[in-house]
C-alpha cells in the first residue's frame, strides 16, 4: 500500500474501496476512494482522513512517508464519516495535534465523536503556515454540508476540494490523464447529480471563491486527482450548477400491463420526430442514481406510472422522492400513465413535478386501460405542443 507523490512533499495517502456498491442509496458500481493528503513541511499536516474501516490502509501509506506520530495538524474539510471515520483512531496516536476545521466542522465533530480534541476554527481567507507553505482555507457551506470547506496550497497550486469535483471511482491510477477521460467525466457527472445537485447556488459561490486561484491540481476527497482536465471539470460544474440543459428529454416510467410503456414509447416517438434527443428509463431495469446522471443536462422530464391501489407504483414513488430531494431546477415536466378506475397515480406524479417547480405547459396524459389510435395521436400532439412545434399548435 504505497503513497503517491503529487508534488514535492505532498502525497496521496488515502484508501481504495473496491467493494463499495451503495453510498446512501447511490449505486456506486465502480467502487470509490477516500482521499487523504499528507504535507510534510516543518509541520506535518494530514488533510482529511478515511472511512473507519480503511484506517489501517491510510496509516500504512502515511508510515511510508513519515512517522504518523509526527503529524501536527489535521485539516478536516468535512465531517461526514467517509472522511472523518478514522479520525478518533489517528487522534489516539496524536494527543498534541491540532484539528483545523470550520465552525460547523467543530460542532459536527463534537456531535459525532463526543471527544475533547484541540480544535482551531477557521474562516474563509484564514491561512496556516506549515513552514515553507501557506495553506489557505475557503469555506464552501452546503457543498454539500454546512461544514464543508476547501484548502488551497498556494506554493503548489493544489486545491484540496473535498467532495466537490469528486467521483465514486476505485482505480489503481490516481490522476485523470492515466485513465479514459470519458470515464472520469461520467463518474464526476454522476457524483454531481447524486450528491451536489441540490446546491447549485452554493456551488456557484464556491466556484467564484476559487476563481482567482491558479489550479495546477484539484485533489478531491473521492476518485482521481484532476491534473490535465482541471478546466474541463470546473466548466462542467459551471454548466451543471447554472442548470444549463440541452434539448434533451428523459422518459422515466414503470408499467404493469404495458399500457404505460406504450404511452412512454409514443412520447419517445414524438420527441424523436421533433429531433429532440431522448432517453428511456424503465424503473424496473434502471437505478435511480443512474437516471439522475442522465437528468443533469435534460430539459424535459416525463414521468409515468399506472395506478396501483389508488397510488403510483412504489418504484415511481421512490424515484420521485429522490428527484424532489435533489431538486433539479428550470425543467419542463410531463406526467403520464394508465389506469383502470381511479387514476390517482398520474395526479400524484404531476403534483410532485409541480412541487419540484417544473414548468408543466401541457395537460397530463391519462389513459383508461389501453390507449387507442386516437389517444396515441393525442399523446404525440401534446408532446409536440410542449415543444412548441408549429403543427401541434396550429
Ligand atoms: Fe464524501 Fe459528504 O462525504
DSSP 354-368: HHTT-B--SPPEEEE
Please state the pTM of the whole predicted model.
0.95
- Classified by CATH at the fold level, domain 4-241 comes out as Metallo-beta-lactamase; Chain A (3.60.15)
Q: Does the pLDDT at position 257 exceed 70?
A: yes
> Which atom of ligand 1 has the smallest separation from the CA of 81?
3
Share of the chain above pLDDT 70, in %: 99
Q: 49 alpha carbon to ligand 1 midpoint, in Å?
A: 11
Q: Which residue has the cell 428527484?
A: 323
pLDDT at 391: 67
**Among positive and negative, which fits the CA dihedral 216, 188, 183, 302?**
negative
Q: How far is the CA of 170 from the centre of ligand 1 (A)?
A: 15
Where in the sequence numbering do the catalytic residues fall?
24, 78, 80, 82, 144, 163, 191, 222
Distance CA(286)–CA(280), nearest Å, equals 10
Tens-place pLDDT, residues 261-271: 999 999 999 99
Cβ neighbours around 342 below 10 Å, total: 12
What's the gap in Å between 77 CA and the centre of ligand 1?
A: 10
Q: What is the mean pLDDT of residues 22-33?
A: 96
Has residue 394 got a pLDDT over 80?
Answer: no
Atom of ligand 1 nearest to the CA of 162: 1
Helices 288-295 and 181-191 pack at an angle, to 10 degrees, of: 100
* pLDDT at residue 392, as a whole number: 67
Q: Is the pLDDT of residue 280 over 70?
A: yes
Q: Which residues of the chain form CATH 3.40.50.360?
A: 246-393
CA distance 48 to 35: 7
* Ligand 1: nearest atom to the Cα of 195: 2
Closest ligand 1 atom to 163 CA: 1
Residues with CB under 6 Å of ligand 1 are 78, 80, 82-83, 144-145, 163, 221-222
Nearest Cα residue to atom 2 of ligand 1: 80
Q: Whose CA is nearest to atom 3 of ligand 1?
A: 80
Nearest CA to ligand 1 atom 1: 163
Is residue 367 within 8 A of residue 345, CB to CB? The reply is no
Q: What angle do CA 299, 305, 308 make, to 5 degrees?
A: 160
Please give the distance, rounded to the nearest whole angstrom, from the Cα atom of residue 175 to the centre of ligand 1.
Answer: 20
Measured CA to CA in angstroms, residue 304 lies from 111, 283, 286, 287, 312 at distances of 42, 10, 14, 16, 9
pLDDT, mean of residues 342-359: 97
Instruction: Determine the average pLDDT of the residues in 314-329.
Output: 97
Q: Band the pLDDT of 123: cuts 50, 70, 90.
A: very high
Mean of pLDDT values over 143-154: 96
Instruction: Identify the helix (H) or strand (E) that includes residue 122.
Output: none
| Centre of ligand 1 from the C-alpha of residue 101, in Å | 15
Q: What is the pLDDT of residues 82-98, one digit of tens each?
A: 999 999 999 999 999 99
Instruction: Over range 68-75, report the average pLDDT.
Output: 98
The CATH 3.60.15.10 portion of the chain extends over: 4-241
Ligand 1 centroid to Cα of residue 222, in Å, is 8
Q: Provide the 10 A C-beta neighbour count for residue 91.
A: 18
Q: Quick one: fold of 246-393?
A: Rossmann fold (3.40.50)
* Cis amide leading into 8 (omega within 30): no
- Asked if residue 212 lies in contact with residue 229, where contact means CB atoms within 8 angstroms, the answer is no
Quick one: which atom of ligand 1 is closest to the CA of 166? 1
Amino acid at each position: 500500500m504505497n503513497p503517491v507523490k503529487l508534488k514535492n512533499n505532498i502525497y496521496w495517502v488515502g484508501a481504495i474501496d473496491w467493494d463499495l456498491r451503495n453510498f446512501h442509496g447511490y449505486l456506486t458500481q465502480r467502487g470509490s476512494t477516500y482521499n487523504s493528503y499528507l504535507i510534510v513541511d516543518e509541520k506535518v499536516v494530514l488533510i482529511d482522513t478515511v472511512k473507519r474501516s480503511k484506517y489501517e490502509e491510510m496509516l500504512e501509506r502515511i508510515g511510508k512517508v513519515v512517522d504518523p506520530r509526527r503529524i501536527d495538524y489535521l485539516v478536516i474539510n468535512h465531517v461526514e464519516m467517509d472522511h472523518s471515520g478514522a479520525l478518533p483512531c489517528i487522534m489516539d496516536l496524536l494527543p498534541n495535534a491540532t484539528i483545523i476545521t470550520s465552525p460547523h466542522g467543530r460542532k459536527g465533530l463534537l456531535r459525532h465523536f463526543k471527544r475533547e480534541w484541540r480544535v482551531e476554527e477557521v474562516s474563509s481567507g484564514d491561512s496556516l503556515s506549515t513552514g515553507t507553505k501557506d495553506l489557505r482555507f475557503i469555506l464552501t457551506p452546503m457543498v454539500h454540508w454546512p461544514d464543508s470547506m476547501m484548502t488551497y496550497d498556494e506554493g503548489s497550486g493544489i486545491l484540496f476540494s473535498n467532495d466537490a469535483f469528486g467521483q465514486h471511482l476505485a482505480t489503481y491510477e490516481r490522476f485523470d490523464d492515466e485513465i479514459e477521460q470519458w470515464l472520469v467525466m461520467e463518474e464526476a457527472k454522476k457524483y454531481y447529480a447524486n450528491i451536489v445537485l441540490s446546491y447549485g447556488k452554493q456551488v456557484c459561490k464556491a466556484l467564484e471563491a476559487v476563481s482567482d486561484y491558479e489550479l495546477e491540481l484539484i485533489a478531491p476527497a473521492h476518485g482521481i486527482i484532476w491534473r490535465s482536465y482541471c478546466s474541463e471539470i470546473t466548466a462542467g460544474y459551471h454548466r451543471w450548477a447554472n442548470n444549463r440543459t440541452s434539448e434533451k428529454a428523459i422518459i422515466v416510467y414503470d408499467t404493469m400491463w404495458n399500457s404505460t410503456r406504450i404511452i412512454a414509447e409514443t412520447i419517445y416517438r414524438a420527441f424523436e420526430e421533433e429531433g429532440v434527443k431522448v432517453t428511456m428509463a424503465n424503473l424496473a431495469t434502471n437505478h435511480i442514481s443512474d437516471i439522475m446522471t442522465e437528468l443533469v443536462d435534460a430539459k424535459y422530464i416525463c414521468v409515468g406510472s399506472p395506478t396501483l391501489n389508488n397510488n403510483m407504483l412504489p418504484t415511481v414513488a421512490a424515484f420521485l422522492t429522490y428527484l424532489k430531494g435533489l431538486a433539479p431546477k428550470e425543467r419542463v415536466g410531463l406526467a403520464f400513465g394508465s389506469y383502470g378506475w381511479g387514476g390517482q397515480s398520474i395526479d400524484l406524479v404531476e403534483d410532485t413535478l409541480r412541487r419540484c417547480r417544473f414548468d408543466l405547459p401541457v395537460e397530463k396524459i391519462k389513459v383508461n386501460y389501453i390507449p387507442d389510435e386516437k389517444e396515441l395521436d393525442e399523446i404525440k400532439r401534446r408532446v409536440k405542443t410542449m415543444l412548441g412545434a408549429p403543427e401541434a399548435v396550429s
